Structure 1
Amino acid sequence: MPNRNARRSLLGLALTLLVIVVCLNLAWWQWQRAGEKREWLADQAAKARAAPVSLERALDLDDPQHRPVQVRGELDNRRSVLLDNRTYQGVAGYFLLTPLRTDQGRWVLINRGWLPRGADRARLPEVPRVDGPVTLTGNVYRPSAQTFVLKDTPLPENQWPLRVQKVDFAAIGHRLGVELAPFEIRVAPDQPLGDAAALPRPWQDVTTVMSPQRHQAYALQWLGLAVAALIMYLIARLRGRRRHQPDA
């Protein structure tokens, strides 16, 4: 019996130490992530406040994400892209991305905003036309390469507007027969395009990603779990000793 109790005590100690080490490592990792996120947010906010650059300049940048860009050209009204599964105020819909050919002959997808899906999913919404040359300002947005979709399906043939689950610039450019910029330009929320009414543009602001404070809160939670594990072990040990003490 003493040997069995000793083995149980050692096993409990080992498990408690393992839990504490894991929790402390996770707490430290979240704390580091808070510092990294704070630096990243400051960098992205500085980019968003910078003066707009040309599309050619944005293409030369190593990290153009969120950088303001100004372009002039004509939209290809016949061949827009509908990014599926975008909600706005609880309503299902699409983001409308229309190819734009710049005055310099470059092609880039312009994210014009949100369109409601409608009651019949099989029926695609009508794409508002924007005729003639336009000059627009927006921010570069490059989606994460790890964008989750239920399944990767090939782009449909001979369908415009093109409904997609994620934006694959190379594949869409191939379907268009042009070389697309490897990012989209999200039009500034208050900017009209031609005579068409501005669509809702609920762009994800850089501050809506997980905040440094959230990472710090998670770090404190993991630290709290480590402390709780230690306290529970000490309480269990104290109760075990009392149980095995001989009665006076």
Structure 2
Amino acid sequence: MGSRQFRPKLWALGLTVVLCAAMVALGIWQLKRGQEKAELAARYEAAAQRPPREMTAGAWAEPGVIERARVAGRFDGTRQLLLDNQSHRRQPGYRVWTPLLLEHGGIVIVDRGWIPADGDRGKLPPLPVPQGEVRFTGYWRTLPEPGMRLDVDNCAPAPWPRIVQYPTVDELRCIYGESLPGGLFLMDADVPGGYVREWGAGPELSPNKHYAYAGQWFAFAAVLVGLFVALSFRPKT
């Protein structure tokens, strides 16, 4: 390149720096998401090795802790929730949250799994529940939290079943009463009366896709830098 010299344009330099910084930031974010998924899967695996404990009305889920637990009671099929914006294998749907009236008093929210959404958002799926006394095992954990919480009032009166957007413990207690424990019970996959359940497994919890996305963002940044350098060599004047 004896007849050419490196003379980048300032606007190109600024644009490259901004875009590269954004791509690297997105790559780092995807790496962190992958690590979070891997850690969550490890907590499910560790919990599966321990015996379940009996759930009581005063139970409280510790942040970051997943436990095996056992519940007994009767489902209340008249006051169910549908957690919105939940996908499974890229298909949109809901998670079905059903209150269980504990045999010794109190209430706990049971996640019975994922169900697909109808193409018509105004048409909700039927949500039958097992009748009579039920007893089953599952995982006990804190409520799921979104990456960005929308400004919605999950406690506002609405017909049942209600569609909600990641309700907090306070919002659930507003709906069901102050005796509600602070957590969510995930019904085991082999328990009848539920929907799609892949706790601790399945593509939605795999960190590999996040690592792949991170690699793509870092590759895009490298290609952009290469193009910037190559195009910045111009003939000497």
Provide TM-score, normalisation by structure 1.
0.67
Aligned partner of 1:96 in structure 2 is: 96
Question: Using a 3 Å threshold, how does the CA distance of structure 1 residues 141 and 24 change in structure 2: closer, same or farther?
Answer: same
Q: Which has the bigger relative contact order, CA under 8 A and spacing at least 6? A: 2
Question: Using a 3 Å threshold, how does the CA distance of structure 1 residues 93 and 107 change in structure 2: closer, same or farther?
Answer: same
How many correspondences in the alignment?
A: 222
- Mapped to 1, the partners of 2:29 and 2:107 lie a distance apart of 36
SS of alignment partner, residue 191 of structure 1: coil
Aligned partner of 1:186 in structure 2 is: 186
Cα offset, 1:49, TM superposition: 0.4
Query: Larger % of helix: which?
Result: 1
> Could you report, residue by residue, the CA deviation over 1:97-149 in whole angstroms, capped at 9, with x for unpaired residues?
11124456554321112445568765654432322031221363633244566
- 8 Å contact kept, 1:19–1:226: no
Matched, 1:18 2:14: yes
Larger radius of gyration: 1
- 8 Å contact kept, 2:109–2:185: yes
SS of alignment partner, residue 98 of structure 1: strand
SS of alignment partner, residue 9 of structure 2: helix
Cα offset, 1:27, TM superposition: 5.4
Matched, 1:177 2:177: yes
Percent identity of equivalent pairs = 20
- 8 Å contact kept, 1:26–1:219: no
Matched, 1:222 2:218: no
Residue of structure 2 aligned with 1:49, choices 40, 45, 52? 45
- 8 Å contact kept, 2:89–2:204: no
Letter aligned with residue 40 of structure 2? Q
Question: Using a 3 Å threshold, how does the CA distance of structure 1 residues 102 and 205 change in structure 2: closer, same or farther?
Answer: farther
Cα offset, 1:212, TM superposition: 1.7
Question: Using a 3 Å threshold, how does the CA distance of structure 1 residues 213 and 84 change in structure 2: closer, same or farther?
Answer: closer
Cα offset, 1:219, TM superposition: 0.9
- Mapped to 2, the partners of 1:43 and 1:119 lie a distance apart of 34
Letter aligned with residue 163 of structure 1? I
Structure 1: segments with no counterpart, 5+ residues? 1-8
> Could you report, residue by residue, the CA deviation over 1:155-205 in whole angstroms, capped at 9, with x for unpaired residues?
45363333334434322321212343444233232322xxx4x42336663
Letter aligned with residue 133 of structure 2? G
- 8 Å contact kept, 1:87–1:94: yes
Question: Using a 3 Å threshold, how does the CA distance of structure 1 residues 30 and 190 change in structure 2: closer, same or farther?
Answer: same
- Mapped to 2, the partners of 1:224 and 1:183 lie a distance apart of 46
Matched, 1:83 2:79: no
Question: Using a 3 Å threshold, how does the CA distance of structure 1 residues 178 and 158 change in structure 2: closer, same or farther?
Answer: farther
SS of alignment partner, residue 211 of structure 1: helix
Aligned partner of 2:69 in structure 1 is: 70
> Could you report, residue by residue, the CA deviation over 1:21-72 in whole angstroms, capped at 9, with x for unpaired residues?
33554455455446544543432221010135545798353313xx243231
- Report which stretch shifted further, 43-52 or 124-133: 124-133
SS of alignment partner, residue 205 of structure 1: helix
- Mapped to 2, the partners of 1:114 and 1:32 lie a distance apart of 30
- Mapped to 2, the partners of 1:15 and 1:46 lie a distance apart of 47
Question: Using a 3 Å threshold, how does the CA distance of structure 1 residues 83 and 14 change in structure 2: closer, same or farther?
Answer: same
Cα offset, 1:94, TM superposition: 3.6
- Mapped to 1, the partners of 2:22 and 2:93 lie a distance apart of 38
